[in-house]
Amino acid sequence: MQLPDISLAVKSLITKIGGPLLAIDTATAIGSIALATSTKCYEQTLAAAARPSDTLACVINELFIKAGIGGCDLKGIIVGLGPGSFTGLRVALATVKGLAFSAETPVYGVSSLALLAAGYGVGLSAPILDARRGEVFCAVYEVKDDGVVALKVEDAVRTPLEFARLLTNSNSEYDLVKIIGDKSASSAEVANACGKTIFEIPAPRAAAGFLLAADRIYKQQKENILTLIPRYLRASAAEQSIQS
């Protein structure tokens, strides 16, 4: 699946805000980092076997060197807030806060499921991640030809059958939706209930975060990094055990 060329839209954004942007997502097994300048958008994935805490800072630094900039030059940082791996989300957010705090760089959070849809390509996609306990993290997004990602069904924790019913009881609106998921039994259950093939979940596309956050970047509607936390959508097993 060929990804949309978003370079022109991103270049326009960079020109208007007067400086480079960084985007990071490590919510799934494969991470994604993007650095956009006025001349180029650099995109890099983190290997599935790599530990984000060990490699994320190194890859970011390598992209800074390629682009000839430093962290203090950034005009904004976009971060995937989840849902997804609790560890991956915490590592990404800690890295972002470290970069942003000293330079007072604005931070903008986006959906990690939206970035997964963007990584698949143009069209309607239903990204699914195993949420354990017989549930899935899921949503529906439409990726336009220009790379803009539009929300169709909000991110949520649902049972496989609940999500399958949502996709099949919508007056055929989602007949052409592509189900992209991990190899979990819960993800396969969604596809089977819909009578569809499940496509292997792609690497997220952090660069799509530039367009997802563009309106907030223009309006300077930044996050409060002191209170910003991942969007887990539910408590972890350990937290639920404590609460009970």
* pLDDT per position as a tens digit, 143-177: 999 999 999 999 999 999 999 999 998 667 888 99
Alpha helices in the chain, H assignment, sequence order: 7-17, 52-67, 86-103, 112-120, 160-168, 185-194, 208-212, 214-219, 237-243
- pTM for the predicted model, two decimal places: 0.93
pLDDT of 237 over the 60 cut: no
Among all chains, which residue has been given the structure tokens 């940082």?
Answer: 77
Q: Mean of the pLDDT values across residues 197-214?
A: 94
How sure is the predictor about 242, in pLDDT bands with cuts at 50, 70 and 90?
A: very low
pLDDT at position 221: 97
pLDDT at position 52: 63
pLDDT of 243 over the 50 cut: no
Tokens found for residue 142: 């439409």
* pLDDT per position as a tens digit, 51-91: 666 689 899 999 999 999 999 999 999 999 999 999 899 99
pLDDT at position 51: 60
* pLDDT per position as a tens digit, 18-33: 999 999 999 998 999 9
pLDDT at position 149: 96
pLDDT at position 102: 83
**Helical axes 86-103 vs 52-67, angle rounded to 10°:** 40
